[in-house]
Amino acid sequence: MDSCNEEEVPMRLHSAVEYLLHSHSDQLRSIILSPDPKLHYPLFVDYAELMDADPPLARLVFANPTDYLRFFDQAAILAHKRVLKDMVSHEKGVEKKFIHVRFNVCGSPLEFPETFPTIGRVRVKHRGILLTLKGTVIRSGAVKMYEGQRTYQCKKCKHMFPLYPELETRNSITLPSICPSQRSNPCEGTKFLCVENTTVCHDYQEIKLQESTQVLGVGVIPRLILVILQDDLVDIVKAGDDVIITGILTAKWSPDLKDVRCDLDPILIANHVRKTNEMKLEIDIPDDVAMKFKQFWLDFRDTPLKGRNTILQGICPQVFGLFTVKLAVALTLIGGVQHVDASGTKIRGESHLLLVGDPGTGKSQFLKFAAKLSNRSVITTGLGSTSAGLTVTAVKDGGEWMLEAGALVLADGGLCCIDEFDSMREHDRATIHEAMEQQTISVAKAGLVTTLSTRTIVFGATNPKGHYDPDQPLSVNTALSGPLLSRFDIVLVLLDTKNPEWDAVVSSHILGEGEYGNGKQDEDLANIWSLSILRRYIGYVKNHFKPVLTKEAEKVISSYYQLQRRSATHNAARTTVRMLESLIRLAQAHARLMFRNEVTRLDAIAAILCIESSMTISAIVDSIGNALHSNFTENPDEEYAKQEKLILEKLSLIDESLESNGLEGFN
């Protein structure tokens, strides 16, 4: 090793072997008991534990990973041989040739910004240290094989030594100028012979990592970096995965192109890959904040809907009123519970929302605020998006076809906001049908056939086609097909109709002419339910509550669905079984919003009112809805009692012998 003197190597090697035997003997034993001796096996080591056990060795791993990561691999081989020697006779262990130590820096000082920069802030100073980068995989190449080690012999003194390829020179091996044997009398030989059958080959894969758009400011282009995965790390990530990768930053020459200057491109040689897909929606929620949530609902236990409206007023507070839209945004972001039946068929838990409205009704404001509320989001516009940009595209890189993830794949586990939905071409809109309902994207491009995950909430906004005609169905007013509209759980219409009273209230709100007391109340509310608190609340209820339908909720939902099926005219595309699934999702989301693990009749009726707001002609209240003029009431609990009475009277016309038909399976 170039940077390790001759006396230091045995001492450090002994320390590494002893550490692995003491702290990771169980992993070594499981590796030994694996049957195939030719595979590459990972040995996972927490860097924080190594720092506690042997700080000098940990510092060397950080400062000189090129030598010491290889050094630890040698120590793992020696340690596993000692474990194999000490095993009892009845245990059938097999000696392994390749063991790679993988350092997990989670919880260690290496998570500080100096050694954990964003991809866009990677500089020359980070070269040669153990570096950690976080981002999203947008492209993954095919698995290849490359020569990782070759043994040479000096013709003069017969000394044998290994040589490793240099990525800077495109994996070429550079022979030393003189014999590297460290003897008292150096032979100084200059001719070397490659030893037969000593070539070690490795699996090799290139991926491209893009920094998360969540940490970027407006106008900042997300940067990319090439990452090289080797041996046991290949094929463990795919396009759209969120990952944290620890490795060594180096560089390689860019491909030779005519009239293009040849540069060194930065690359990261991965040592450890940690997928964070399951942590996408996890938000740090301290215990004191969780207690505040519980205390909040204790204070509003007698007037729960007033407490709910207090939360909703914190959503997009710059937009006055629009209670129905804010409730729909909250229910969409919270979502229901995914159901998987005995055959493995999945019914999605994520809800989709579409806002159809005249210009200037606040649609884009809600899209941008919803993106801030989600821990993972992608915003795009229909005019600038094609089917490949939304789903996945095949690109050619270095003579090889690769798949590059689009907006829906990058938003997997989060929110995809699509503004100007009507600007998309018809065949581009058709490509997202599978992504919205089955939550997958099936790809067959350039000989690449695969399926990618898109567990994504779709939040769309569109303008009506010409003047909105209430007598026509949504598919005519929006130029969106019936099958696509049926995939949206809620479709809200925002019409800028003339209403002098509403105009006066809105103008007072915009010009700040409200009474001082109301302004003070709004200011206090903003402090309680700020953007960060709302994000934590949504994350908390999604992780802690899995609501189950009660019998009375089943009865209400079943009766309403049957009533809609009987009276379906203009809304035929939205009264399929998908409406039933939407009702259940929205009722479960409302129960989560209300801090409950049980879907009550109140939640079922709230879901019905959301669906009713999506209807051109209401089967319950016999009126045409305009969500733009929906405002927060002073006594929401009293208002709910009136709505509940009206709805139950309408639903009492349904034969009660059909109650809760087919709903038990969703629990």
Q: Which residues of 573-592 are buried (b: 16+ CB within 10 A; e: fewer)?
A: bbbeebbbbbbbbbbbbbbb
Is the pLDDT score of 603 beyond 80?
Answer: yes
The span from the CA of 249 to the CA of 603, in Å, is 53
Is the pLDDT score of 664 beyond 70?
Answer: no
Using CA atoms in the order 315, 317, 321, 322, what is the torsion angle rounded to 10 degrees?
Answer: -40
Last residue in a domain, options 275, 301, 332? 275
Q: Quick check: 619 and 564 in contact, CB under 8 A?
A: yes
- Which of 299-308, 605-614, 658-667 is predicted with the least confidence, judged by mean pLDDT? 658-667
Residue 264 lies in a domain: yes
Phi-psi region of 227 (alpha: psi -120 to 50; beta: other; left: phi over 0): beta
Is the pLDDT score of 274 beyond 60?
Answer: yes
Residue 268 lies in a domain: yes
Q: Which amino acid is at 558?
A: S
**What mean pLDDT is reported for the chain?**
77
Residue 281 lies in a domain: no
Cα 555 → chain centroid:
36
**What one-character-per-residue DSSP string does 379-419 give?**
EEESTT--HHHHSEEEEEETTEEEEEE-HHHHTTTSEEEEE
SS3 of 297-310: HHHCCCCHHHHHHH
Both 159 and 40 in a single domain? no
Q: Which amino acid is at 436?
A: M
Residue 134 lies in a domain: yes
Q: Which amino acid is at 226?
A: L
Residue 517 lies in a domain: no
Sequence-ordered strand ranges (E) for 74-155:
98-104, 130-140, 144-154
Grouping H, G, I as helix, E, B as strand and the rest as coil, residue 248 is strand
The contacts of residue 159 (CB under 8 Å, 6+ apart) are 153, 179, 180, 181, 187
Is the pLDDT score of 162 beyond 80?
Answer: yes
Both 142 and 256 in a single domain? yes
Distances (CA, A) of 507 to 75, 320, 513, 520: 73, 10, 8, 19
Last residue in a domain, options 104, 128, 151? 104
CATH of the domain at 162: 2.40.50.140
Place of tokens 């209807």: 615
Beta bridge partners of 199: none
Q: Residue 282 gets which letter from DSSP?
A: -
Both 71 and 38 in a single domain? yes
Report the pLDDT value the prediction gives residue 215, as an integer from 0 to 100. Answer: 63
Place of tokens 């009293």: 638
The average pLDDT across 551-571 equals: 77
Of all residues in the chain, what percent carry a pLDDT higher than 90? 1
Q: pLDDT tens-digit profile of 479-495?
A: 777 778 888 888 888 87
The span from the CA of 309 to the CA of 326, in Å, is 9
Cα 417 → chain centroid:
14
Report the pLDDT value the prediction gives residue 281, as an integer from 0 to 100. Answer: 47
Query: pLDDT band at residue 400, thresholds of 50, 70 and 90?
Result: confident
- Which of 404-413, 494-503, 524-533 is predicted with the least confidence, judged by mean pLDDT? 524-533
Report the pLDDT value the prediction gives residue 385, as an integer from 0 to 100. Answer: 62
Is the pLDDT score of 425 beyond 50?
Answer: yes
Q: pLDDT tens-digit profile of 439-484?
A: 887 877 777 777 777 888 888 888 887 777 777 777 777 777 777 8
Both 63 and 212 in a single domain? no
The average pLDDT across 30-35 equals: 81
Both 138 and 24 in a single domain? no
Residue 348 lies in a domain: no
Question: For the purposes of burial, counting CB atoms within 10 Å of the CB of 479, is it exposed (0-12), middle (13-18) or buried (19 or more)?
Answer: middle
Query: pLDDT band at residue 256, thresholds of 50, 70 and 90?
Result: low
Place of tokens 């964003």: 118
Both 28 and 158 in a single domain? no
The average pLDDT across 332-346 equals: 81
Query: pLDDT band at residue 335, thresholds of 50, 70 and 90?
Result: confident
Place of tokens 């007698």: 302
Query: pLDDT band at residue 661, thresholds of 50, 70 and 90?
Result: very low
Is this prediction's pTM over 0.75?
no
The span from the CA of 258 to the CA of 569, in Å, is 64
Q: pLDDT tens-digit profile of 195-245?
A: 888 788 888 888 888 887 666 665 677 788 889 898 888 888 887 788 889
Grouping H, G, I as helix, E, B as strand and the rest as coil, residue 355 is strand
Both 188 and 76 in a single domain? no
Both 156 and 181 in a single domain? yes
Query: pLDDT band at residue 387, thresholds of 50, 70 and 90?
Result: low
Both 117 and 81 in a single domain? no
The average pLDDT across 82-92 equals: 72
Residue 461 lies in a domain: no
Provide the H-helix boundaries in 260-354. Answer: 287-299, 304-312, 323-334
The span from the CA of 132 to the CA of 136, in Å, is 14
Report the pLDDT value the prediction gives residue 577, as an integer from 0 to 100. Answer: 75
Residue 215 lies in a domain: yes
- Neighbouring CB atoms inside 10 A of 651's CB total 22
Q: Quick check: 296 and 307 in contact, CB under 8 A?
A: yes
Both 24 and 78 in a single domain? yes
Q: pLDDT tens-digit profile of 495-527?
A: 777 767 767 777 776 776 444 444 444 444 334
Both 187 and 128 in a single domain? yes
Report the pLDDT value the prediction gives residue 97, as an integer from 0 to 100. Answer: 82
Place of tokens 């900042």: 220
Cα 474 → chain centroid:
32
Is the pLDDT score of 570 beyond 60?
Answer: no
Q: pLDDT tens-digit profile of 92-139?
A: 777 888 888 898 888 787 777 766 788 888 888 888 888 888 888 888
Looking at per-residue pLDDT, the higher value among 5 and 433 belongs to: 433
- The range of the structural domain enclosing residue 250 comes to 108-275
Is the pLDDT score of 662 beyond 80?
Answer: no
Last residue in a domain, options 81, 104, 127? 104
Query: pLDDT band at residue 257, thresholds of 50, 70 and 90?
Result: low
Beta bridge partners of 149: 200
- Neighbouring CB atoms inside 10 A of 657's CB total 6
**Number of folded domains in the chain?**
2
Query: pLDDT band at residue 283, thresholds of 50, 70 and 90?
Result: low
CATH of the domain at 58: 3.30.1640.10
Report the pLDDT value the prediction gives residue 311, as an integer from 0 to 100. Answer: 87
Both 124 and 205 in a single domain? yes
